[in-house]
Amino acid sequence: MILLYILLILGLTKGFDFGLATSATQVEGGWLEDNKAMTVWDNLGHTLGYVRDHTNADIADDSYHRYHEDFAIMKEYGIKHYRLSIPWTRIIPRAVAGSPVNYKAVEYYRRLLKTMKEQGLVPYVNIFHNDLPAILVINGTGLSDPEFPDHFAYYANVCFENFGDLVPYWFTFDEPWCQSVYDNLRVYDANTKPYIMGHNILLAHGKAVKIYREKYQSKYKGKIGLNLNIEMMWPFTDKNEDIEAARRGLIFQIDWFADPIFKGDYPSEMKSKLGGRLPRFTEEEKVMLKGSIDFFACNHYMSYLVQDGGHDENITYFDDVNTTIKYKEEWKRTDMGWPIVPEGMYYILRYIYEKWVKDHSMEIWITENGIAIHEPTLESAVNDKERINYMQTYLSYLDKARAEGIPVTKYFSWSLLDNFEWTSGLSKKFGLVRVDYERKEKRTPKSSLLWYSQLINH
Ligand code: BGC
């Protein structure tokens, strides 16, 4: 079996880019330095009981001060592709369209990006990775504000203008589905708000891409897209209602965002189910959105079975999807409780290929995939065989997809470093490099980094 994986993966490495990913809030720290304003997560980290282990992202991995060290590790291990994010609240502290640019932060990120270039590291930059400026929620309604797309487009333009010469690959939003569904359930109007937020994210994405294409792309020759969550869902039984439920689950997660981007409008199933609760695009917006990505980037962690029903209150997004998630007993779970189902990677790639990519000449990139492991000691972290096994098996299914002609060309493991895992705080370890929070964020490469490096550089 192991030999099979090795053979498959050796085939994979030809003409293929491997990288590592992080995001600013999760690794940077320096939470109020150099004029940075607060994100919603800075605030949540200081709200008693919100983050389960009572940590926050004030310091996180201290990468704001130690990016040289992080880049040196990647250089030593032969990692050439690095996905990171730039925080809106550093670049434009007041966040709204027309407000002042913080040139201290612009200079900082130019230095950082130049250092990457000198070290031979290729940057893949997210303009937004779960770091909504708090001021947009204090003075407005954040992602559901009708002015949100314009604020974002203004910020995106500042990024393209100041960093465009140094960034070959841009992503507007990380995981619009998570943004729309998870950060939202606690607020009023839960039966319309996820769809309004999703709509605004799509419009913000479309506006930013339009600006990039019209003003910068021919000059800098970069590419732009966004990262969608993709989870595989199979019917729990072969009953028609479960088959239909799995189909609905996929549509409400993936097609919700992929259809507007490829076809200019929402899937008909969502339109008929939600009626007036799903916002409409104008003809002009449809044109703007259609074809607004240069590659299909997606984050994949898990797969599950889906049973029809279980929600009947008709209040939240989850009532609209109306499915119950089930796991097979034999599926092992990560420290997040997520099922490990490597073959799901193959089936979900097939889904997006058949539905959207086949008819467009477009690459598919896996921009996140990874595992949290319980690593209480340095020794357990350094001997992270489970992570190697996870990556090996997932990659073998990615290779199967490639062997069948599905054009996957990049894979990023989440994450370079252990980091701040949102509501789980610093307790969940996703890194290929251990970060010791008791010992001044000391970095120690794990076995998985060595394994990954050998895979990439064999
Ligand atoms: C997010 C990351 C997160 C990871 C693991 C992805 O959904 O983009 O920010 O740390 O999953 O939960």
User: Residue 11: what pLDDT?
Assistant: 59
Pair of tokens at residue 107: 């200079």
Separation of 370 CA from ligand 1 center, angstroms? 9
Query: 3-class DSSP state for residue 393?
Result: helix
Pull the structure tokens for residue 387.
Answer: 């992570």
| Cα separation, 412 vs 20, whole angstroms | 5
Report the pocket of ligand 1 as residue ranges, CB < 6 Å: 23, 26, 130, 174-175, 178, 299, 368, 414, 421
Per-residue pLDDT tens digits for 339-349: 999 999 999 99
What pLDDT score does 3 carry? 46
Atom 10 of ligand 1, nearest CA residue = 421
pLDDT tens digits, one per residue of 348-394: 999 999 999 999 989 999 999 999 999 999 999 999 999 999 999 99
Query: pLDDT tens-digit profile of 113-138?
Result: 999 999 999 999 999 999 999 999 99
Name the active-site residue from 28, 368, 386, 421: 368
Q: If you take atom 3 of ligand 1, which residue's CA is the nearest one?
A: 421
For ligand 1, pick from 368, 373, 387, 417 the residue to mutate: most ligand atoms within 8 Å of CB: 368
Global pTM reads 0.97
pLDDT at residue 182 is higher than 90: no
User: Does residue 71 register a pLDDT over 60?
Assistant: yes
Residue bearing the CA closest to ligand 1, atom 5: 421
Residue type, 143: L
CA distances for 342 relative to 3, 355, 400, angstroms: 17, 21, 11
Q: Where are the domains of the chain?
A: 2-254+289-456
Verify whether residue 368 is a known catalytic residue.
yes
Superfamily assignment of 2-254+289-456 in CATH? Answer: Glycosidases (3.20.20.80)
Atom of ligand 1 nearest to the CA of 174: 8
Residue 84 CA to ligand 1 centre (angstroms):
12
Alpha carbons 19 and 346: distance in angstroms, whole number: 19
> Which atom of ligand 1 lies at the shortest distance from residue 370's CA?
5
Q: Can 313 be counted among the known catalytic residues?
A: no
Note the residue count of the chain: 458
3-state secondary structure of 348: helix
**Which candidate, 179, 154, 171, places its Cα nearest to that of 92?**
154
